[in-house]
């Protein structure tokens, strides 16, 4: 999967999950699991204005607050 790091948070995407991890200790801060049929995250996220944006292969864009 793709990995992005910003302001002490590491964001990892793989399969149907987006995981936000504490960059210091690796603890999971938040996990988003897209359960829609055909959903697969591919590529890195975009981060802007306190939001994480991630498109997936089924054509949806997910927006998650940091």
Residues 17-29 have a mean pLDDT of: 96
pLDDT at 43: 85
Task: State mean pLDDT over 18-25.
Answer: 96
Query: How far apart are the C-alpha atoms of 46 and 42, rounded to whole Å?
Result: 12
Could you report the per-residue pLDDT of 32-62, keeping only the tens digit for each?
999 988 889 888 899 999 999 999 888 889 9
Q: What is the pLDDT of residue 47?
A: 94
Question: Residue 1 — very low, low, confident or very high, per pLDDT cuts 50/70/90?
Answer: confident
Neighbours of 30 (CB within 10 A): 14
Are 8 and 23 a contacting pair, CB within 8 Å?
A: yes
> What pTM was estimated for this model as a whole?
0.87
């Amino acid at each position: 999967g793709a990995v992005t790091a910003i302001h002490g948070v590491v964001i990892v995407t793989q399969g149907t999950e987006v995981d936000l991890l504490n960059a210091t200790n690796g603890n999971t801060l938040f996990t988003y699991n897209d359960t829609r049929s055909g959903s697969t995250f591919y590529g890195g996220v975009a981060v802007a204005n306190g939001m994480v944006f991630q498109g997936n292969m089924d054509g949806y864009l997910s927006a998650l607050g940091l």
